[in-house]
């Protein structure tokens, strides 16, 4: 029997009558859960609950908030196997990969456990005669977090943990495809001691997000998902006077220079291209082969592809699971066909691979001689497809990447420090790896791309996130001497 996924308002399961959405197991295509879509009233009640809880949560001592962060870390660590199974079931990624996701999510919980430092303000004594000035950080209020399917636990942990540590109350709106892990994390937060109402979950799609954006009680929106949705959420939230950070899609290039260690580069192309079936916003989707090494590199990558096993995450020998939906599979296979039609060379074709007959599987695919005007290059594929673009020089590689609309991550593979330094300096991308194919910053730094990969000013998690979820207030103080006149009509200077 399918389990029901409720909304969680003030820590209580809410299952409004009406809209029910099936949650499918991507490895079989069969329904294994049923999502309760939040109706208008449920969304409004969740916002009211958050608004009410915010009043006392922002007064909660920071030491107590810190304790909850430590408790949460302990709960997730001790039950990581259980959470990994939940993620793996609804997303399809392997258990190893799900454990990796949990570890990266925990990094932010650990960063947030240092909230005493992150919430500290500034103080300037004697800024003018007898006048001191301090800057304090205060929470924004009720904030909403809208998350994608591909990291069902990690992206919620990026957002909600920081927002809560900073003293806000949260409405989480997870992906309809992967709602179980989000509910699991919220329940773990409550178990860690978070008071009811500080963290609520509403399920659904565009209509729920639109209501959150339009409700005046919600002060900020954090979003991670595809670029068209990120762009429209950014515009709509700004129009509604909200703070907004909206992270979008990606097309990450990996440049392989002629002097690179080709064995290592081929290994990295495989891991970064096909891990999680390519459904990572930092996955490599384009290998830029510079100069004469292209043939050798393509051969090494294709030899490695032959060793990969695609199958359900329940098979311990699967390297890669299914993609998320039948629509995603159709989009990916359609783009592979478009590449063939446009004259690219399909070196390994994931459509013809030895795949399970049920579920939404696409095998690892390698497409050579791709050029920038092809649809397979221009669109985000978000599947297990590596394209190879051949260029003659480093300058051509840089020009190619800087001309792309997406700018989430990129990497250069070289043995030459000067080339790497030049790449870092010239490349117009938010996260850069040098011989590191997936340069996701560790928790002490923040995460974010440039151009169409991020709309807004602040990156996610880490220090920038504390800025996003707080407002600065500057207090100027004087304790006047009762024996001195305070009358002065001039503009105060000192
Ligand atoms: P998506 O844009 O379809 O959905 C993301 C969230 O937005 C979901 O919660 C969904 O319910 C909601 N949503 C969907 N359509 C909406 C609309 N029209 N209006 C308002 N809300 C809407 O993305 P997805 O398919 O869940 O995730 C994959 C995408 O996310 C890829 O493009 C990937 O690159 C991107 N992504 C980016 C990052 C990053 O950090 N930049 C991280 C992970 C995923």
Q: Is the CB of 276 under 6 A from ligand 1?
A: no
What is the three-class DSSP state of 115?
A: helix
| Mean pLDDT to the nearest integer, 356-370 | 96
Residue with tokens 């990624």: 93
Half-sphere exposure of residue 246, counting CA atoms within 13 Å on the CB side? 22
CA distance 328 to 362: 10
Confidence of residue 2 (pLDDT cuts 50, 70, 90): confident
| Mean pLDDT to the nearest integer, 269-275 | 98
Q: Is the CB of 438 under 6 A from ligand 1?
A: no
Given a cut of 80, whether residue 494 has pLDDT beyond it is no
Q: How far is the CA of 439 from the centre of ligand 1 (A)?
A: 21
Q: Residue 406 has which token pair?
A: 């997406």
Q: Is the dihedral of CA 33, 74, 201, 457 positive or negative?
A: negative
Given a cut of 90, whether residue 228 has pLDDT beyond it is yes
Residue 227 CA: which ligand 1 atom is closest?
32
Q: Is the CB of 386 under 6 A from ligand 1?
A: no
Confidence of residue 261 (pLDDT cuts 50, 70, 90): very high
CA distance 396 to 257: 12
Average pLDDT, the chain: 96
Q: Is the CB of 455 under 6 A from ligand 1?
A: no
CA distance 34 to 19: 10
Q: Is the CB of 222 under 6 A from ligand 1?
A: no
Given a cut of 90, whether residue 1 has pLDDT beyond it is no
Q: How far is the CA of 2 from the centre of ligand 1 (A)?
A: 25
C-beta separation of 98 from 87 below 8 A: yes
Q: Residue 291 has which token pair?
A: 């100069």
Residue with tokens 């636990």: 153
Q: How far is the CA of 394 from the centre of ligand 1 (A)?
A: 33
Q: How far is the CA of 226 from the centre of ligand 1 (A)?
A: 4
Q: How far is the CA of 229 from the centre of ligand 1 (A)?
A: 7
Residue 380 CA: which ligand 1 atom is closest?
32
Cα torsion through 74, 34, 323, 446, rounded to 10: -40
Q: Phi/psi at 349 (nearest 5 deg)?
A: -110, 110
Q: Is the CB of 246 under 6 A from ligand 1?
A: no
Confidence of residue 311 (pLDDT cuts 50, 70, 90): very high
**pLDDT recorded at residue 276:** 97
CA distance 73 to 83: 13
Q: Residue 382 has which token pair?
A: 């978000």
In this structure, the residue with its CA closest to atom 15 of ligand 1 is: 206
| Mean pLDDT to the nearest integer, 215-238 | 98
Q: How far is the CA of 134 from the centre of ligand 1 (A)?
A: 39
Cβ count within 10 A of residue 415? 12
CA distance 71 to 308: 39
Residue 248 CA: which ligand 1 atom is closest?
41
C-beta separation of 409 from 450 below 8 A: no
CA distance 105 to 357: 33
- For residue 14, the 8-state DSSP code is E
**pLDDT recorded at residue 490:** 80
**pLDDT recorded at residue 482:** 84
**pLDDT recorded at residue 16:** 84
Cβ count within 10 A of residue 201? 27
Task: Estimate the crossing angle of helix 95-112 against helix 80-91, to 10 degrees.
Answer: 120
Residue with tokens 């305070």: 486
Residue 210 CA: which ligand 1 atom is closest?
20
Q: Is the CB of 148 under 6 A from ligand 1?
A: yes
CA distance 64 to 113: 10
* 60-114 residue pLDDT tens: 999 999 999 999 999 999 999 999 999 999 999 999 999 999 999 999 999 999 9
Core vs surface per residue 262-278: b (16+ CB within 10 A) or e: beebbebbbebbbbbbb
Positions marked active-site:
281
In this structure, the residue with its CA closest to atom 30 of ligand 1 is: 225
Given a cut of 90, whether residue 226 has pLDDT beyond it is yes
Question: CA angle, corner 289, sides to 284 and 295, nearest 5?
Answer: 115
In this structure, the residue with its CA closest to atom 10 of ligand 1 is: 175
Q: Is the CB of 138 under 6 A from ligand 1?
A: no
Percent of the chain whose pLDDT exceeds 90 = 95
* 128-159 residue pLDDT tens: 999 999 999 999 999 999 999 999 999 999 99
**pLDDT recorded at residue 95:** 97
Residue 487: partners with Cβ closer than 8 Å, 6 or more residues away: none
**pLDDT recorded at residue 295:** 98
| Mean pLDDT to the nearest integer, 34-52 | 97
Q: Residue 26 has which token pair?
A: 């991507």
In this structure, the strands spanning 284-290 and 385-391 are: parallel
Q: Phi/psi at 419 (nearest 5 deg)?
A: -65, -45
In this structure, the residue with its CA closest to atom 40 of ligand 1 is: 247
Q: Is the CB of 456 under 6 A from ligand 1?
A: no
Ligand 1 pocket test, pick from 7, 91, 148 with the greatest ligand atom count within 8 Å of Cβ, gives 148
Q: How far is the CA of 247 from the centre of ligand 1 (A)?
A: 9
Ligand 1 pocket test, pick from 105, 226, 233, 447 with the greatest ligand atom count within 8 Å of Cβ, gives 226
Q: Is the CB of 453 under 6 A from ligand 1?
A: yes
Given a cut of 80, whether residue 14 has pLDDT beyond it is yes
**pLDDT recorded at residue 480:** 87
Given a cut of 90, whether residue 483 has pLDDT beyond it is no
Cβ count within 10 A of residue 489? 4
Q: Which residues pair with 338 in a beta bridge?
A: none
Residue 453 CA: which ligand 1 atom is closest?
41
Cβ count within 10 A of residue 216? 9
Q: How far is the CA of 148 from the centre of ligand 1 (A)?
A: 4
Nearest to 384 by CA among 397, 367, 371: 367
Residue 232 CA: which ligand 1 atom is closest?
19
CA distance 194 to 468: 21
* 441-478 residue pLDDT tens: 999 999 999 999 999 999 999 999 999 999 999 999 99
Given a cut of 80, whether residue 124 has pLDDT beyond it is yes
If one compares 428 and 494, the residue with the highest pLDDT of the two is 428
Q: How far is the CA of 224 from the centre of ligand 1 (A)?
A: 6
Measured between alpha carbons, how far is residue 155 from residues 87, 162, 223, 281, 484 in Å? Answer: 12, 11, 10, 11, 57
Residue 449 CA: which ligand 1 atom is closest?
41
Given a cut of 90, whether residue 485 has pLDDT beyond it is no
């Amino acid at each position: 029997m399918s389990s029901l996924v409720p909304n969680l308002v003030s820590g209580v399961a809410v299952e409004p009558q009406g809209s029910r959405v099936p949650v499918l197991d991507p490895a079989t295509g069969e329904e294994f859960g049923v999502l309760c879509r939040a109706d208008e009233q449920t969304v409004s009640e969740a916002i009211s609950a958050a608004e009410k809880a915010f009043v006392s949560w922002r007064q909660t001592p920071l030491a107590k908030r810190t304790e909850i962060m430590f408790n949460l870390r302990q709960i997730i660590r001790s039950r990581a196997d259980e959470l990994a199974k939940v993620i793996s079931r609804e997303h399809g990624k392997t258990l190893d990969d799900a454990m990796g996701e949990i570890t990266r999510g925990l990094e932010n919980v650990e960063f947030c456990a240092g909230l005493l430092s992150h919430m500290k303000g500034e103080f300037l004594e004697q800024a003018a005669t007898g006048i001191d000035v301090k800057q304090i950080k205060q929470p924004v209020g009720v904030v909403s977090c809208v998350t994608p399917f591909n990291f069902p636990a990690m992206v919620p942990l990026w957002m909600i943990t920081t927002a809560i540590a900073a003293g806000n109350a949260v409405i989480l709106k997870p992906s309809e495809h992967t709602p179980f892990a989000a509910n699991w994390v919220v329940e773990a937060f409550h178990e860690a001691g978070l008071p009811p109402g500080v963290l609520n979950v509403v399920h659904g799609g565009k209509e729920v997000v639109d209501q959150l954006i339009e409700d005046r009680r919600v002060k900020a929106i954090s979003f991670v998902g595809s670029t068209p949705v990120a762009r429209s959420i950014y515009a709509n939230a700004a129009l509604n006077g909200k703070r907004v950070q909206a992270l979008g899609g990606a097309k990450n290039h990996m440049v392989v220079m002629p002097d690179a260690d080709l064995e290592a580069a081929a290994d990295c192309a495989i891991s970064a291209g096909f891990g999680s079936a390519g459904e990572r916003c930092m996955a490599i989707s384009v290998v830029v082969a510079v100069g004469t090494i292209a043939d050798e590199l393509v051969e090494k990558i294709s030899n490695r592809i032959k060793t990969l096993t695609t199958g359900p995450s329940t098979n311990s020998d699967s390297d890669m699971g299914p993609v998320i939906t039948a629509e995603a599979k159709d989009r990916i296979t359609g783009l592979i066909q478009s590449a063939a039609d446009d004259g690219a060379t399909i070196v390994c074709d994931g459509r013809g691979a030895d795949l399970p007959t049920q579920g939404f599987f696409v095998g690892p695919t390698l497409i050579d001689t791709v050029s920038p005007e092809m649809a397979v290059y221009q669109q985000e594929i978000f599947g297990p497809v590596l394209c190879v673009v051949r260029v003659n020089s480093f300058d051509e590689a840089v020009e190619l990447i800087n001309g792309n609309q997406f700018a989430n991550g990129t990497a250069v593979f070289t043995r030459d420090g000067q080339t790497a330094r030049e790449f870092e300096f010239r490349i117009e991308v938010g996260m850069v790896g040098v011989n590191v194919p997936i340069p996701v910053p560790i928790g002490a730094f923040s995460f974010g791309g440039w151009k169409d990969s991020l709309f807004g000013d602040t990156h996610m998690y880490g220090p920038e996130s504390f800025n996003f979820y707080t407002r600065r207030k500057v207090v100027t103080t004087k304790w006047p001497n009762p024996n001195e006149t305070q009358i002065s009509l001039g503009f105060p200077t000192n």
